């Protein structure tokens, strides 16, 4: 009987440890599609970098600089593309109160940063703001080379879940049959 309980405890460790590690990874994966736009705005130029949540750059992504206007909608001032490191730069427009910079990789990943002028916000600094999630229905991942990795990890999660549930069931069944 004593060895029986011991083996159950060993099982718990074997199953629970990877499970806890998996759970710890979840929030990170959930953010994998977020885009961060970091900005440094000066008197002469506005420079910035667009990265995915995992830190990799948005290469050759569209960058739009617009004047924010709640009543008439944003007006596009300039357009550019990011380089290999996800970096971009614009000359600082004159007489602009609030500017919006939008990075879009064309695959449904988008990030926005708002730049306010000195009159509005002391220090003329950037306030990166979380962009609303793009409509996920429109995302087409069929040309994404990393699909295989996602499929494999998804199946891995399912296998782990299956293992965990069947372990739990067999434990419950074992304790019932002992009663």
Partner 1 sequence: MHLAAGVLGLPTFVGSAILATAGIAIGLRKLTPRSLPSAALFAAVFFIVGTIHIPIGIGSVHLILNGLIGLLLGWLAFPVIFVALVLQALLFSFGGFAVLGANTLLLAAPAVMAHFALRPFVENSLGSQRKLLWLGLFAATIGIGGAALIAVTMLWSTGQQALLNLMVLFGVAQIPVWIIDAAVSALVVATLGRNLPQVFVK
Range in contact with partner 1 (rule: CB under 8 A) among 22-30, 75-83, 89-97, 113-121: 22-30
The residue from 8, 16, 17, 26 that contacts partner 1 (CB under 8 A) is 26
Residue 12 in the binding site for partner 1 (CB under 8 A): no
Q: Shortest distance, CB of residue 157 to partner 1, whole angstroms?
A: 6
Of 121-160, binders to partner 1 (CB under 8 A) are 132-133, 135-137, 139-142, 147, 150-151, 153-155, 157-159
Q: Shortest distance, CB of residue 166 to partner 1, whole angstroms?
A: 6
User: What is the rounded distance in angstroms from the CA atom of residue 92 to the CA atom of residue 153?
Assistant: 44
Six-digit token string for 150: 């996602």
User: What is the rounded distance in angstroms from the CA atom of residue 51 to the CA atom of residue 88?
Assistant: 11
Q: What is the DSSP string of 144-167?
A: -TTHHHHHHHHHHHHHHHHHHHHH
User: What is the rounded distance in angstroms from the CA atom of residue 19 to the CA atom of residue 26?
Assistant: 11
């Amino acid at each position: 009987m004593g060895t029986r309980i011991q083996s159950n405890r060993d099982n718990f460790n074997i199953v629970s440890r990877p499970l806890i590690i998996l759970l710890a990874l979840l929030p990170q994966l959930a953010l994998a599609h977020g885009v961060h736009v970091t900005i440094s705005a000066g008197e002469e130029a506005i420079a910035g970098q667009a990265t995915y949540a995992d830190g990799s750059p948005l290469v050759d992504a569209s960058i739009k600089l617009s004047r924010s206007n709640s009543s008439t909608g944003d007006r596009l001032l300039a357009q550019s593309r990011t380089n290999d490191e996800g970096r971009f730069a614009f000359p600082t427009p004159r007489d602009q109160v609030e500017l919006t910079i939008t990075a879009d990789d064309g695959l449904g990943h988008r990030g926005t940063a708002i730049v306010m002028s000195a009159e509005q916000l002391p220090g003329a600094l950037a306030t990166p703001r979380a962009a609303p999630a793009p409509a996920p229905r429109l995302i087409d991942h069929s040309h994404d080379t990393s699909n295989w990795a996602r499929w494999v990890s998804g199946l891995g999660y399912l296998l782990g879940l299956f293992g965990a549930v069947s372990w739990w069931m067999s434990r419950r069944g074992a304790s019932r049959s002992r009663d």
